[in-house]
Amino acid sequence: MEERIIRLPELITYHQINEVWEESIACFCTKSDMKNISKIPPVLADMFSFIVVEEGMAHYILNYKEYNVRKGDMLLFSPSMLVSLTGCTDDFRCMNLMCERSLFEHMLSSNPAFQTYSYYFCRTDTPVAQLKQEMQTAILKCMEQIRMAIISRNTYQKEIIQSLVYTCMLLVLEVIEERVSSLPVSLGRTERLFHDFMALVVAHYKREHYINFYASRLSVTTTYLSRIIRRQTGKTAAYFLGGMLYAEACRLLTRTDYTAQQIAEELNFSDQSAFGKFFKSKAGVSPHIFRLKGVNS
């Protein structure tokens, strides 16, 4: 089964979605007659996504496991998840909130409470949750407000959209906290270590780029910490540290007028050249070209 990576701009073009803000956030209703809805091959969507089913049923394959989702179900997708939609009923309808990876990861880093998201996405084998009626209503209402804010053009559109997305994340966090608290405690030692590692990453990623700092703070060897992170997530410490740094670099390039030198200093790179090499390895283009594309998009 081929694992193809798809980013948000490509996905919105494929499905002809109009409710999109700056190719960073999309919030829209999916129905059975949506463009190309019946033709979604397995992909690794390089974004974070929440889906709440309003009516009908759909059949998804998530990380090679099959799920039939129905009214009241919420699906949470992360960039590391292999997703395929193989069919749906004629009355299927759901609301989708999709957020470009770097923007979402910046939001995760902006509030220590959101570290539970990283813990959940790395721990869960079942990315489907059944919502209580009041929570379903609240999340759907917030999603509709985001959709309308994207459609409506006004002076403070950016601030309104980001505030609403933040609110939606907090609502979903209520569901995630309940799921995380119900996870088995018998596996506690290694999982607590990973959770503490993520908490330290959120607090220190701008200044501390290497695993040895985190291992020292956790009183374990770098080899042991690396092994625990790999066992819990299938990823390396560099994946999490690099991802947070890249997300913040993208935000600074698109949302501020900081120079590349100032960003390098803000993110504790040895110099502008080191920052440029790091950024190009992630984005495929230099910080200057990335900023120009953002300005002209």
| HEC sequence for 143-157 | HHHHHHHHHCCCCCH
Take residue 287 and report the two structure tokens written for it: 């910080």
Bigger pLDDT: 163 vs 101 = 163
pLDDT band at 290 (very low <50, low <70, confident <90, very high): confident
pLDDT for residue 30 is more than 50: yes
pLDDT band at 186 (very low <50, low <70, confident <90, very high): very low
pLDDT at 3 (0 to 100): 47
Other Cβ atoms within 10 Å of 162 Cβ, number: 18
Strand order in the sheet with 82-88: 4-6, 40-45, 82-88, 57-62, 65-70
Rounded mean pLDDT, 266-293? 91
The partner residues of 83 in beta bridges, in order of sequence, read 43, 62
Spatial CA neighbour of 245 closest among 115, 105, 116, 118: 105
pLDDT at 209 (0 to 100): 95
Q: Which amino acid is at 81?
A: M
Q: Are strands 40-45 and 4-6 parallel, antiparallel or unpaired?
A: parallel
pLDDT band at 25 (very low <50, low <70, confident <90, very high): very high
Q: From CA 264, how far away is CA 209, in angstroms rounded? A: 13
Task: Match 């405690």 to its residue by tokens.
Answer: 185
Spatial contact of 79 and 46, defined as CB atoms under 8 Å apart: yes
Rounded mean pLDDT, 31-39? 65
pLDDT band at 6 (very low <50, low <70, confident <90, very high): confident
DSSP for 123-191? H-S--EEEPPHHHHHHHHHHHHHHHHHHHS--TTHHHHHHHHHHHHHHHHHHHHHHHHHTS-STTHHHH
Q: From CA 297, how far away is CA 293, in angstroms rounded? A: 6
Take residue 107 and report the two structure tokens written for it: 């939001």
Q: Are strands 128-130 and 93-100 parallel, antiparallel or unpaired?
A: unpaired
For 75-114, write each residue's pLDDT tens digit. 988 876 778 888 888 899 999 999 988 788 778 777 777 7
pTM of the full structure: 0.67
pLDDT at 272 (0 to 100): 95
Q: Are strands 40-45 and 82-88 parallel, antiparallel or unpaired?
A: antiparallel
Spatial CA neighbour of 50 closest among 66, 22, 74: 74
For 239-264, write each residue's pLDDT tens digit. 888 888 887 888 788 778 899 999 99
pLDDT for residue 42 is more than 80: no
Percent of the chain with pLDDT over 70: 88
Q: Are strands 47-55 and 73-77 parallel, antiparallel or unpaired?
A: antiparallel
Spatial contact of 52 and 139, defined as CB atoms under 8 Å apart: yes
For 116-141, write each residue's pLDDT tens digit. 777 677 666 668 889 999 999 999 99
